[in-house]
Amino acid sequence: MVGSIEGMGHTLYSNGAIQKFNGLENKLDELRSLLGKADSDPLRIVGVGAGAWGSVFAALLQDNYGQYREKVQIRIWRRPGRAVDRATAEHLFEVINSREDVLRRLIRRCAYLKYVEARLGDRTLFADEILKDGFCLNMIDTPLCPLKVVTNLQEAVWDADIVVNGLPSTETHEVFEEISHYWKERITVPIIISLAKGIEAALDPVPHIITPTQMINRATGVPMENILYVGGPNIASEIYNKEHANARICGAEKWRKPLAKFLRQPHFIVWDNSDLVTHEVMGGLKNVYAIGAGMVAALTNESATSKSVYFAHCTSEMIFITHLLAEEPEKLAGPLLADTYVTLLKGRNAWYGQMLAKGELSLDMGDSISGKGMIQGVSAVEAFYKLLSQSSLNVLHPEEKKPVAPVELCPILKTLYKILISREQSSSQAILKALRDENLNDPRERIEIAQTHAFFKPSLLGQPRNDLRSICLTKT
């Protein structure tokens, strides 16, 4: 972990980076000015959802800007009533006592006793309760700064200037539909930053992808120019421990550039990009293949050869799918591979695949796992399979020379669907059988197919008119 020493108006990190306090205040003042905030009116930033990334994101802002209390208010919302189980409470107690700074902080706040009592079984802790002390239920080993936690959604969001969506994609529409009721009387339009990685599939009027930013737009009516997406490559706990990390904020230029500047820190470099939806979809796609990577690692006892073979095949499928989704897919190659790499190394989806293959988890336990949160790759497998199995998206099979649904050229995706969703395959071993099929083509061929054929399907990202026109022309 990178430590820091404060004094003389700046913070000096042990890696040599310096963050001047007045520089932070200037960045805060610039954003306040862009939002038209009066001197007496604080900038209100609210995180909605308290998973690992959502909690870390709010904590980073609190660490950076929380000292300017008259200029900014930072808080986070999570649902009340989620109990911390006994095993987690005991582990939490161990974490607290291993960190002198955390122990002293809790003693000063008169909060330590409740963790003692929870360890002894004399009381129950709740997720929103421990979050106030800086403990995210999905990331117990990484203590955060104390956070202002609100459990009433209306209280949290009704006057927020910036809302950070830290919800899973599967919950985003429902929660933001509720939020829309609290914004009916608003005069100003808020800015929304979505951290969610995942997609939903819609089949009517043509097969297309619905991303979290699109869900938010439809649920609230907030214009897309005010909705942005922040993606990796990064791991939440490592960012908070000040390991050098990068992120990318995508959306309209009006807000992405000033927000990139506002979020940037010496150890957390934030780039910006205009291609919001495609980057967002790619964030969901890599979770699909991360689950399979975890399975392969566990089933082959971490064989480097097997993992590299899997990586070759899964990345070729991802490149193929990217050519279906994006008009200029080459621009996504770097970000997609980088985000995939970090997720395969140390992401919850790869971990989930490993636990399934080892028999330490079962599919019947669902895709929300205690201590990890929502495994987004499961719903993403279903969504991508449903979309790419539609005959209206048919492509020409290179060997059989006949139209086939795109999923027929994605054997790894098909196998993951059969294991995780339809359960036609009763064991994770099926992923190895697919990988070791002697009839499986060189992954290079799939990439060549993608690059030499006009596979781009604009309808997949919500442009149905163009796609319908191309279908009509083909039929004619």
Residues annotated catalytic, as ranges: 286
- Contact at 8 Å (CB) between 88 and 167? no
Cβ neighbors of 441 (< 8 A, separation 6 or more) are: none
- Contact at 8 Å (CB) between 241 and 2? yes
Cβ neighbors of 341 (< 8 A, separation 6 or more) are: 233
Which pairing describes strands 43-48 and 4-7: parallel, antiparallel, or unpaired?
A: unpaired
Q: What is the CA radius of gyration of the chain?
A: 23
- Contact at 8 Å (CB) between 77 and 151? yes
Q: Which residue has the tokens 């929300």?
A: 368
| Cα–Cα distance, 147 to 144 (Å, whole number) | 8
Report the 10 Å Cβ neighbour count for 22: 9
Q: Which helix (H) or strand (E) holds 205?
A: none
Cβ neighbors of 3 (< 8 A, separation 6 or more) are: 13, 14
- Contact at 8 Å (CB) between 280 and 231? yes
| Cα–Cα distance, 250 to 260 (Å, whole number) | 9
Structure tokens at 461: 């990202």
Closest CA to 320 of 212, 437, 404: 404
Could you give the 3-state DSSP secondary structure of residue 200? strand
Cβ neighbors of 312 (< 8 A, separation 6 or more) are: 443
Instruction: Tell me the DSSP string of 283-350.
Output: HHHHHHHHHHHHHHHHHTTS-HHHHHHHHHHHHHHHHHHHHHH-SSGGGGHHHHHHHHHHHHHH-HHH
Cis peptide before 80 (omega within 30 of 0): no
